[in-house]
Amino acid sequence: MRYEIDSILVREDQIRDRVSVIGRDISELYRGKSLVMVGILKGAVMFLSDLARAVDKDVDVSFDFMSVSSYGKSTESSGVVRIVKDLDSDIRGKDVLIVEDIVDSGLTLSYLLQVLNHREPASLSVCALLDKPERRKVQVPINFRGFVIPDAFVVGYGLDAGGRWRHLPSIWSVRPVQD
């Protein structure tokens, strides 16, 4: 299926404002502590890099990354989650924040929480830029949330459709093109 971009759901300035509020919330909660921010590749790259810069210097921040299998060219979750790239560091005893682009069915996050909890971090929290609660199949905790959006497939600000449109500064919905 081919897609074209349709309309803006979340503007660049709205993302900027929200990211700075979440950054302040994270700063308050983790002040004086070490925090491992775990970005989920590739979708969370833009969000993680902006969010980390909104966290103040009194939090000792480090980054790590994980990559899990996702939808590929389709827009539907297969329900199958596989680790493609694991963390570089041991998170045992550390405060960990998973930074996700979007929570849809919740299957990916549920799997990540299970895998990372098993490694016995001191704490494990979740920050998701976008939340599509209508599509949820499993309940997952989201400690910091950017925006709740309706059931639409979205691209931009790190999110893609078949590898395209990650570079857009705003979040757009896409629509299928009839061939």
5 backbone dihedrals φ, ψ, rounded to 5°: -75, 145
The contact pattern for ligand 5GP, residues 69-108, with x = CB under 6 A and - = no contact, is -xx-----x----------------------xxxxxxxxx
Secondary structure letter of residue 178 according to DSSP: P
Q: At what angle do helices 12-30 and 45-53 cross, to 10 degrees?
A: 60
Q: Kindly give the residue spans of alpha helices, DSSP state H, lying in the chain.
A: 12-30, 45-53, 107-117
Q: How far is the CB of 70 from ligand 5GP (least distance, A)?
A: 4
Nearer to ligand 5GP, 22 or 59 (CB): 22
Cα–Cα distance measured from residue 18 to residue 31, given in angstroms and rounded to the nearest whole number: 20
Residues facing residue 15 across a β-bridge: none
The catalytic residue among 95, 104, 131, 160 is 104
CB nearer to ligand 5GP: pick between 15 and 59: 15
Nearer to ligand 5GP, 52 or 130 (CB): 130
Task: Please report how close the Cβ of residue 61 comes to ligand 5GP at its closest, in angstroms.
Answer: 22
For residue 143, the minimal CB distance to ligand 5GP (Å) is 16
Q: Does residue 131 interact with ligand 5GP by CB under 6 A?
A: no
Active site residue 151: no
Encode burial over 102-136: b for 16+ CB neighbours within 10 A, e otherwise: bbbbbbbbbbbbeebeeeebeebbbbbbbbbeeee
Q: Is 170 in the site for ligand 5GP (CB under 6 A)?
A: no
Q: At a CB cut-off of 8 Å and minimum separation 6, what does 52 contact?
A: 37, 61, 63
CB of 104 to ligand 5GP, least distance (A): 3
The set of catalytic residues is 104
The footprint of ligand 5GP (CB under 6 A) covers 43, 70-71, 77, 100-109, 153-155, 159-161
